[in-house]
Amino acid sequence: MPSLRAALSDLATRELDLLVIGGGITGAGILRDAAMRGLSVGLVEQGDFAAGTSSRSSRLIHGGLRYLEHYQWRLVFEALRERAVLLRIAPHLVRPITFVVPAYRGDRIPRWKLAAGLGLYGLLAIGGNVARPRMFGKAGLLILEPGLRVRGLRGGGLYHDAQCDDARLVIATLRSGLTHGGRAANYARVTGLVSEGGKVVGVEAHDLLTGDRATIRARAVINATGPWVDTLRRMEDPGVPALLRLSSGAHVVVPRDRLGHTNAITFTSSVDGRVMFILPWGSLSYIGTTETDFTRSPEQVTASQEEVRYLLRSANALFPQAHLGEEDVLATWAGVRPLLAGHPNVPAGAVSREHRIVRGSQGMITVAGGKLTTYRRMAAETVAMALSGLPPDAAAQYREAPPTDWEPLPGGESAVFDPFIQTGLDLGLPPATVERLVHRYGTETAAVYNLIREDRRLLQPIHPDHLAIGAEVVQVTRRELAVRVEDVLDRRIHLGTETGDGGRAAAPAVAALMGRELGWDADRIAREAAPPPPGTATAEPPDRVSFPGLSLGSDPEGTGVL
C-alpha cells in the first residue's frame, strides 16, 4: 500500500474514474464499492479519516426501534438487513448487544405500544434476528437491571441490536477499498471544483500536511461530505437550496459502575419524553443523545453544559442510586447529523434518516443523509448513479455489484476468537487486555502479537488509566493510516473519550512510537507529544483542521504537523 502522501500525488497524475470527497463512513463505503468493481477511484479527506460525524455517533448498528414511532418501516427493514451484513463482515467491530427497555406508568410510550413495537422490530428483522425480543413484568425486569427506578415501573422489554466502533469501521472499510486498488489521502481538503464545458471534471486539493496544492481529475466527482455537503454543492452552484437540515447530538461518558447496569438501556427521558440510550463500553458507559437544530459550521459542534446536565438528569431519573454529577463525566463527544431537510415544523428527532443521491447542475453527485448502519447500500446506489454518467461501454464493464456484503473487512476474516485469546494469555497479557485487542483487531490481533514477540516493551500500557498497549500504536501507524498523534488517540485507540485527560498522558509514548515508524525528527516528536491541556483555546491558522466536537480530544495546534 503506498503512503498517504504518495497516494495524493498519484491521484494528481492521472484521470480517475471516480473521486470521492469525504472520508467518513459514506465516502469509505463508496471507495470500497467502486474499487471492488475495478474502477479507478480516489478519496480525499480534509481531516483524519472518520474525524467528522462518523466518529461521533451512538455507535449502534441498528434498525432504529424509535423510527417505528414515525412509521419508517422501510428504513428499519433495510437497516436491519444491513445489521446482519455488518455482523457477518466485521464480527470484531460490530457485535450483538442486549437492550432492556423499561416501561413506566405515564410514559409517552405505554407498555402495550412497546410490546407491539418490539414484536414488529423482530418481524422486520426476519432472517437476521440476533434473538427474538421478549416482554417482562416488573419483577423480571428488575432481575435484569436491579438499579432501575422501581417507582412506577410496569415491566418492559428486551431486544437485541448491534454496537460498533464507528471510527474503526470507517478505517476498516477504507483499508478494504485500498487493498482493491483505491487510493486515499487524509488532511487533503478540497478547496474548489474544476469545471470544463459546464461539467465538474475534478477538484483542487490542498494538502494540509505539506502545504502542496494539487488538481485531481476524475470522470465523476462524488460529494460524500456528510454535514458539509451543502458547502460543497455551493462550490458547484452558489444558489442551490440546502439539501440538509443539520442537528447536533451529544454524549457523556461516565464510569459504568456509577450506574451499575449490565445491558444497554433504551428509555424515554423523564425530562422531556425523548428516546435515549445508556450504552455499556467496557468499564465505561455513555449516555446519549440530544437532538438540537444546528446552524453553525459542523466543525464547531461541542457538547454544551446544558446538554451534559440534561443527559445526566435523564440517567439519574432512571437510576436513582447513581446520583451522577458533572464531576463523574470523564469525557463528552458531539456530532452533527446530516439529516435530509424536510418540513421545518417537524422536530429534528422526527426527521427521516433516509438518504438522497442527487446530481448537481454541473454533474457532481451528492449523497446526503443516511446512517452509519446503511452506508453500504448508500455506497452501492451512489456508485450506480456515477456509472450511469459514464459512456455506456465503460459503465457496462463495472456494472456488476461487488460482494461488499460477503467479503470480510480487515480483521473480520473469522468470528472465532478463542485461539487469539489463548495466544494473548500465553504471551503474558492480562485477560482484559486480550479481550480488548481481539475486539478491536479481530484476526489482525495476530499481527499485534508479532510486534510484541519482536519487542517485549510493546506490552506496556501507554496510559496509566487505560488498557491500550504500545504494540497498538505501532499497529495502527503501520496499517491503519494514522499520521498524527491525535489520529491514534482519538480515532484508532479512543483514549480521547475513554480517559479523563483526553489521552494526554499517553501522548509522549504515542509520539515516540509513531516517530520511530514515520521517521519524525526529535523536534516533531516533541511537538506531537505536548498537545495543550483540554479546553485550551489557541489561535488557528487559516487552514488548520480541528474538530473540537470531541471536546476532550487533543488539539494539535502548535504541533507544527501540517
With respect to ligand FAD, which residue has the nearer C-beta, 221 or 372?
A: 372
Q: What is the rounded CA–CA span in Å between residue 412 and residue 164?
A: 13
Q: What is the rounded CA–CA span in Å between residue 122 and residue 157?
A: 12
Give the shortest CB-130-to-ligand FAD separation in angstroms: 16
Give the shortest CB-57-to-ligand FAD separation in angstroms: 3
Q: At 371, which amino acid appears?
A: K
With respect to ligand FAD, which residue has the nearer C-beta, 417 or 547?
A: 547
With respect to ligand FAD, which residue has the nearer C-beta, 162 or 469?
A: 162
With respect to ligand FAD, which residue has the nearer C-beta, 336 or 514?
A: 336
Give the shortest CB-475-to-ligand FAD separation in angstroms: 23
Q: What is the rounded CA–CA span in Å between residue 524 and residue 512?
A: 10
With respect to ligand FAD, which residue has the nearer C-beta, 29 or 155?
A: 29
Give the shortest CB-467-to-ligand FAD separation in angstroms: 24
With respect to ligand FAD, which residue has the nearer C-beta, 83 or 111?
A: 83
Give the shortest CB-163-to-ligand FAD separation in angstroms: 9
Give the shortest CB-315-to-ligand FAD separation in angstroms: 16
CB atoms near residue 296 (< 10 Å) = 10
Q: What is the rounded CA–CA span in Å between residue 451 and residue 481?
A: 17
With respect to ligand FAD, which residue has the nearer C-beta, 25 or 36?
A: 25
Q: What is the rounded CA–CA span in Å between residue 512 and residue 292?
A: 40
Given a contact cutoff of 8 angstroms between Cβ atoms, the answer to whether 359 and 389 are in contact is yes
Residue with cell string 487505560: 466
Q: At 176, which amino acid appears?
A: S
- Backbone φ and ψ of 392, nearest 5°: -55, -40
Tell me 487's DSSP state. I
Give the shortest CB-244-to-ligand FAD separation in angstroms: 10
With respect to ligand FAD, which residue has the nearer C-beta, 340 or 530?
A: 340
- Residues present in the chain in total: 562
Q: What is the rounded CA–CA span in Å between residue 297 and residue 208?
A: 19
Residues within the interface to ligand FAD (CB under 6 A): 21-27, 44-47, 51-54, 56-60, 189-190, 224-228, 249, 289, 335-338, 370-373
**Cα Rg of the chain, angstroms:** 23
Which are the contacts of 355, defined by CB distance < 8 A and separation ≥ 6?
340, 367, 368, 369, 370, 374, 378
Q: What is the rounded CA–CA span in Å between residue 207 and residue 187?
A: 6
Give the shortest CB-96-to-ligand FAD separation in angstroms: 15
Q: What is the rounded CA–CA span in Å between residue 92 and residue 415?
A: 7
